Chains A and B, each alone.
Chain A
């Protein structure tokens, strides 16, 4: 089993699919996508290994359970496959794939007419650094729940801004709308998140303990 480890030489090994072929390890996303469009199935495996963990994390962080996240990741790559003839190699892949991923998530909620699940999925929690603190999963669950309570537009911007490290210009390219609108959404989202956590009794000192390389 492989977990969020980026690429490895095991592409296709466990799946009984395509044997490894001549795709350079450091090939860019765009070059891999172009290779896939040209008919190289191994390029798809590499794109999947590179992107599926990130897409899955976006889904989990935005309030989906593990099974739903897995299902949406599959749908996301199914859509990547169906839309491959629309891909323009001179444009970057990452806004393209993020947009598919987030639109699928929105479609899911729209079609089911309900809000995201509450993010109490402790199964998916793995502390960022080794921790012996037994409260770490509990704090993680509270943060996840607070994040799940945010309005969808605010949560999307926070997930892309904080976790994916995108600039607001990139966020606007993925979600549409203006840079200013997304800055305001993020501002309100972070503020509301803080209020939610404070209401849950999680103080700034406790939170600070779980963040940063300086923690004990």
Chain B
């Protein structure tokens, strides 16, 4: 059976494709059907078929000058395989909450329902991992158009649901703090703690991404990854059950890092 290439060749020769084979192809190819119905389009497109390519030697020289700047450990890291870059990112994203869990776990760890603890921790970490994978997504692979929006919704949704969820227990004195006069200092403390825990993820992803100096729209993904890891860390550290504290101290980590991302994107557009 005839194919698109043969139809294009006939149109370029000024012929009008016809016959049973063309009819069979056109029945499955609406694009060729349109081209055959309006053969003048072929001529119009061929009028710009050979746009000039500029001075290719000069372009090569400029490109090689840019490549010559690709030196040092940062260049080596971002040129490593996507599998390795994802593994490093995952190590940082998972490692920080685990480090917090080992070194300064929440005081009520013994009475907190285990399955809920694992579920909430995983929700933060998995959304952070998803955001990191998309931030490090290689340009030579096609990305699902809904992946970014889906990850953003999942990251924001996880933070909101976990913060708004009824308290798991009131069986530990540490869970009752942060609701009165110490609301502001404790909320600020958690906000700083979570943001600082998220910073290594931000820095790691900046080094690992192949975009280089400007993150562009990927800054949002980097922020969600950093916020997910930071929020997981503060969740594993802070036992306070008061919903207002969890919003102001825990969800605000996401807000601060998202604001940082917005500033990056704005600055990138200004350039």
Distance (Å) between the CB of A146 and the closest chain B CB?
8
User: CB within 8 Å of A: which of B220-271?
Assistant: 265, 268-269
Return chain A residues, CB-CB under 8 Å to B114.
none
A-B contact count (CB 8 A): 250
Q: In the complex the two chains form, what is the Cα distance from A47 to B64 in whole Å?
A: 13
Is the beta-carbon distance between B41 and A207 smaller than 8 angstroms? yes
Return chain B residues, CB-CB under 8 Å to A61.
48, 51
* Chain A positions 17 through 60: 1 when the CB is less than 8 Å from some CB of chain B, otherwise 0: 10000000000000000000000000011001100110011001
Number of B residues with CB within 8 Å of any CB on chain A: 65
Distance (Å) between the CB of B53 and the closest chain A CB?
4
User: CB within 8 Å of B: which of A65-100?
Assistant: 66, 69-70, 73-74, 77-79, 81-87, 96-97, 99-100
Given A81-B70, A82-B210, A214-B14, A193:B63 Cβ within 8 A: no
Verify if A115 is at the interface (C-beta below 8 Å from B): no
Is the beta-carbon distance between A126 and B51 smaller than 8 angstroms? yes
Which of B123-131, B134-142, B165-173 makes up part of the contact surface?
A: B134-142
Given A14-B57, A70-B54, A128:B140 Cβ within 8 A: no
Return chain B residues, CB-CB under 8 Å to A82.
70, 75, 78-79, 210
Verify if B115 is at the interface (C-beta below 8 Å from A): no
Q: In the complex the two chains form, what is the Cα distance from A190 to B42 in whole Å?
A: 10
Distance (Å) between the CB of A118 and the closest chain B CB?
13
Verify if A140 is at the interface (C-beta below 8 Å from B): yes
Return chain A residues, CB-CB under 8 Å to B59.
48, 52, 56, 70, 73-74
Is the beta-carbon distance between A211 and B210 smaller than 8 angstroms? no
Which of B30-38, B90-98, B177-185, B189-197 makes up part of the contact surface?
A: B30-38
Q: Is the interface of A mostly helix, strand, loop or mixed?
A: helix
Q: In the complex the two chains form, what is the Cα distance from A83 to B67 in whole Å?
A: 13
Q: In the complex the two chains form, what is the Cα distance from A78 to B11 in whole Å?
A: 37
Q: In the complex the two chains form, what is the Cα distance from A79 to B140 in whole Å?
A: 9
Q: In the complex the two chains form, what is the Cα distance from A110 to B217 in whole Å?
A: 7
Distance (Å) between the CB of B223 and the closest chain A CB?
16
Return chain A residues, CB-CB under 8 Å to B39.
204, 208
Given A187-B34, A207-B41, A211-B46, A17:B142 Cβ within 8 A: no
Q: 30 A-B pairs, CB-CB below 8 angstroms? A: A4-B56, A14-B57, A14-B58, A15-B57, A15-B60, A74-B62, A78-B66, A82-B210, A83-B79, A86-B138, A86-B140, A97-B140, A103-B140, A107-B216, A123-B52, A124-B51, A158-B45, A165-B5, A167-B5, A187-B31, A190-B31, A190-B38, A190-B41, A193-B44, A207-B44, A208-B14, A209-B43, A210-B47, A211-B11, A212-B11
8 extra interchain contacts, Cβ-Cβ under 8 A, other than A74-B66, A85-B79? A3-B55, A77-B67, A86-B138, A87-B140, A136-B47, A176-B144, A191-B38, A203-B40
